[in-house]
Chain A
Amino acid sequence: MIPRARRALLLLGLAMAAAETDGREAMDEVTRERMVAAAARTYRWSAADVEVRPHEELDRAGCRFFIAVNTREPAHVVGNYALLPDRRLAGVNPTGNAAAAALLQACGQGAPADWWADVLVRFSDQVGGLVLTADGNPFAIRKVKDAGVEFAAPVLTRDDATRLSFFVMDIGLGVPSRVQAVLSDDGTLDIQVTPVQAPARAGNGR
Chain B
Amino acid sequence: MDIQSASKVLDRDFTAFDTAKQGDVSKADGRISREDLQAVARNDGGRFTGEQQETARFLLDSETSRSFFDVGASRGSVDGTISRDDLNAAKDTLASGSYYDELLDTAAGRGGRDGNVSNDDIVAALSDPGVPQDLKNTLNLLLLAPQGSQGMHDVLKGLDSNEVAAASTLYGMPQFAALSGSDKRLVAEAMRDSGGDLAVNAKTRELLGSARFQSMTPGQRTAALTEIALVNTPQFTALPKSDQDLITTAVATARPDDLNAAASIKSLLESKDFAGLNGAEKTAVLSQVRNYPDSKVTGNIQRMLGKGWFKDFDIGDKQRALKLIAYMSYPRSGTNQTILDNTVEKFLAADATYSLKIESLPAPPGNVIFGNASDSTMRVNEDLISADNGKLENNPTHPEWATGLAVNTIPHEINHLINGDKVAPTYDYLNDEYRAWYVGYSAENGHPPSNKEALERWSYFVSPGGVYYDSAAKDALNNPDEAAKIFNELSALSGLKVDASNYKQVLADLASDTGKYKTDPNGPAVVPPGNLDNR
Contacts and interface: CB of A to CB of B under 8 A. Distances in A.
A-B pairs, top 4 by smallest CB distance, nearest first, are A202-B404, A128-B366, A138-B511, A125-B365
B423 A71 contact: yes
B467 A121 contact: no
Contact of B460 (A72, A74, A130): A130
Interface string B294-309: 0000000000000000
A193 B365 CA distance: 13
A75 B371 CA distance: 9
Interface in A25-74: 42-44, 55, 57, 67, 69-74
B507 A74 contact: no
A205 to B, nearest CB: 4
Given A74-B436, A204-B412, A139 B403 contact: no
B422 interface: yes
A123 interface: yes
A194 interface: no
Contacts of A78: 364, 467, 470-471
Contact of A69 (B408, B412, B459, B471): B471
Contacts of B364: 77-80, 122, 128
B416 A74 contact: yes
Interface in B117-148: none
B504 A172 contact: no
Classify the interface of chain B: helix, strand, loop or mixed. Answer: helix
A125 B412 CA distance: 27
Given A138-B511, A204-B370, A205-B368, A77 B404 contact: no
B256 interface: no
Contacts of A42: 362
Contacts of A85: none
Contacts of A202: 370, 398, 400-405, 408-409
Given A74-B423, A136-B463, A203 B370 contact: yes
Contacts of B398: 199, 202
* Residue among A128, A131, A138, A173 facing the most chain B CB atoms (10 A cut-off): A138
B275 interface: no
Classify the interface of chain A: helix, strand, loop or mixed. Answer: loop
Interface of B: 361-374, 398, 400-405, 408-409, 412-413, 416, 421-424, 432-433, 436-437, 440, 444, 455-456, 459-460, 463-467, 470-471, 504, 507-508, 510-512
Given A67-B470, A138-B508, A203 B408 contact: yes
A111 B412 CA distance: 39
A118 interface: yes
Interface of A: 42-44, 55, 57, 67, 69-80, 118, 121-131, 135-142, 171-173, 193, 199, 201-206
B423 A70 contact: yes
Contacts of B403: 202
Nearest to A206: B367
B357 to A, nearest CB: 10
Contacts of B424: 71
A205 B400 contact: no
B504 to A, nearest CB: 6
A118 B465 contact: yes
A172 B422 CA distance: 21
A171 B413 CA distance: 17
Contact of B366 (A71, A118, A126): A126
* Residue among A139, A171, A193 facing the most chain B CB atoms (10 A cut-off): A139
A205 B422 CA distance: 16
Given A130-B460, A138-B507, A204 B413 contact: yes
A173 B367 CA distance: 10
Nearest to B472: A69
B369 A76 contact: yes
A78 B471 CA distance: 7
Contacts of A55: 470
B367 A205 contact: yes
Given A122-B364, A131-B465, A204 B421 contact: no
